[in-house]
Structure 1
Amino acid sequence: MNKRLLTLGATALTTALLLSGAAQAGYDKDQDNAANEGDVVEIAMVDNEFQPKELEIAVGTTVRWENKAGRTFHDVYFPDEDIGSPLRMLPEETWERTFDEAGTYEYICRPHENRGMVGVIHVVEADGAAEDGKEAKEAEGKDK
């Protein structure tokens, strides 16, 4: 009797582990496609930096910034366009922006720009996002 219960328990545990692994694999695959048109990509504000600091997305993608700092407020500000989040985004608050035009968008955290809290988003046409972005980055490297 005990051997039968042990076998059933081991089978149940194995099944649960396999199912959780399959769910995680599906989640990772979705994350790989996060920069497709219409998707939402997240940028964390941790310590005094944006993570990731540089991002390439397709036109139509929404970017969500989340303040993951313990006690510090941050903001997201695009100086070239004079738009951004509220100046005091408290921990766990978010702000979103959808990018409808291709281009390079530089942004800062106004309270922490002097500490290097800056970021850039490269928005490319959805047809060849990866290839266009690679060519743009190579061209930028040649200009320097």
Structure 2
Amino acid sequence: MTQPQTRRRVLAALGTAATGGLAGCASVFAASEYDVGMRTQAFAPETLRVEPGTTVVWRNTSTRGHTVTAYEDTLPDEAAFFASGGYESEAAAREAWQETSGGRLETDDTFEHTFESPGQYSYVCLPHEEGGMVGTIIVEA
């Protein structure tokens, strides 16, 4: 076998192995099944615009546990508080996270909330807040 043939075979084998390896890393979730994905330390997308009455679905698309918790003091007037785990306030969600990892969404878990009032809704993943895992839903007519 000549050197160019050997090199081609090695490169072809490496290309096949790399492609197969990356295929396992691809998300197994169809984007149509959720509106906001949760990566290792980020919401994707970080900002989402919707109309009033829209139900937004978050899906944990990573291998880490995450939460969705509204920053209560930034919610529009008359807007409902939201948090994975069903907590009624940001303080309750934070306390539950500290005590029992309350509100934790494991891989493939979803959380949803319907946004009725126009305005900007900021939220956070409590265990990854220091890493900057925050997001925003903008509700506009």
Pairing 1:54–2:55 present: no
Count of residues in correspondence between the two structures: 87
Match of 1:99 among 106, 115, 137: 115
Unmatched segments (≥5 aa) in structure 2: 1-30, 76-80, 86-102
Pairing 1:64–2:75 present: no
- Asked if the contact 1:68/1:92 (under 8 Å) is kept, the reply is yes
Higher RCO (CA-CA < 8 Å; seq separation 6+): 2
Superposition TM-score, scaled by structure 1 size: 0.56
- Asked if the contact 1:48/1:115 (under 8 Å) is kept, the reply is yes
Superposition TM-score, scaled by structure 2 size: 0.57
Match of 1:43 among 36, 40, 44: 36
Equivalent position of 1:123 in the other structure = 139
Q: Runs of at least 4 residues of structure 1 off by over 6 A?
A: none
- CA–CA separation in structure 1 for the residues paired with 2:34 and 2:50: 8
Equivalent position of 1:138 in the other structure = none
Match of 2:128 among 80, 90, 112: 112
Unmatched segments (≥5 aa) in structure 1: 1-30, 35-39, 126-144
Mean Cα deviation higher: 73-82 or 109-118? 73-82
Root mean square deviation of aligned Cα: 1.9
- CA–CA separation in structure 1 for the residues paired with 2:122 and 2:82: 12
Match of 2:65 among 51, 69, 73: 73
Equivalent position of 2:82 in the other structure = 83
- CA–CA separation in structure 2 for the residues paired with 1:118 and 1:110: 9
Secondary structure of 2:130's match?
Answer: helix
Identity of aligned residues (%): 36
